[in-house]
Amino acid sequence: MTRRLYTRRGDTGMTDLIGGRVPKSHQRVDAYGTLDELNATLGLLRAHLTDAQLARLVAQIQRDVFTLGAELATAPSHRPSVRLSATRLRALERQIDQFQQEAPIPPQFVLPGGTVAAALAQVARAVCRRAERRVVALAAEEPVRPTVLGYLNRLSDWLFALALVINHRNGVRETTWRGRRRKASPTA
């Protein structure tokens, strides 16, 4: 018989970590659950990419995010069997620099949009920011390696730069936001 998808072990509101069981409402579960959501969003983005090189880069990011999730799914009392290396963080920074050379950041705020893939990169960026907030909240309660926090912080920048590159390669100009200037209010 093949392995079953369901176990019924979580029906009482508890879930397994590597190294113990915790309530599904635990900050650690919230953190790696949000990473799972990010990974699903990255998969949707990758499905909409027509550029094979960018699709390969996103697939590597998905593997990294899965590794982060596995690390966070490990109780602090146990050493994670997999850990994201600091070299992946540096690789992300190099890719951001390359993206910025190809598609510089406009001086104004960028409104998410353009191609479907670029818009999905912006959605993934927003989910990544939420995941980062969840991991920061976890780090206030339990140890989290600095590489994990640094990677998530940089990943949201990478996703923003990726969105710009996708639009650039597709000949789509960014829509920018320009706030309305307020009239000076009269002084009393």
pLDDT tens digit sequence for 91-115: 999 999 999 999 999 989 999 999 9
pLDDT tens digit sequence for 20-33: 666 555 677 789 88
Angstrom distance (rounded) from CA 169 to CA 188: 53
Q: Within 10 Å of residue 146's Cβ, how many Cβ atoms?
A: 10
Q: Within 10 Å of residue 54's Cβ, how many Cβ atoms?
A: 19
Structure tokens at 155: 């990943």
pLDDT at 152: 98
**Which pLDDT band, with edges at 50, 70 and 90, does 132 fall under?**
very high
Instruction: Work out the percent of the chain whose per-residue pLDDT is above 90.
Output: 65
The pLDDT of residue 142 is above 70: yes
**Which pLDDT band, with edges at 50, 70 and 90, does 130 fall under?**
very high
Average pLDDT of span 125-139: 97
Amino acid identity at 176: T
Residues with Cβ within 8 Å of 162's Cβ and at least 6 positions away in sequence, in order, are 54, 57, 58, 99, 121
pLDDT tens digit sequence for 146-160: 999 999 999 999 999
**Which pLDDT band, with edges at 50, 70 and 90, does 183 fall under?**
low
Reference 67, options 163, 147, 159; nearest CA is 147
Domains within the chain, CATH numbers bracketed: 17-177 (1.20.1200.10)
Query: Are the beta carbons of 153 and 131 closer than 8 angstroms?
Result: no
pTM, full prediction = 0.87
Rounded to 10°, the helix 146-169/52-72 angle is 160
The pLDDT of residue 16 is above 50: yes
List phi, psi (to 5°) of 181: -80, 135
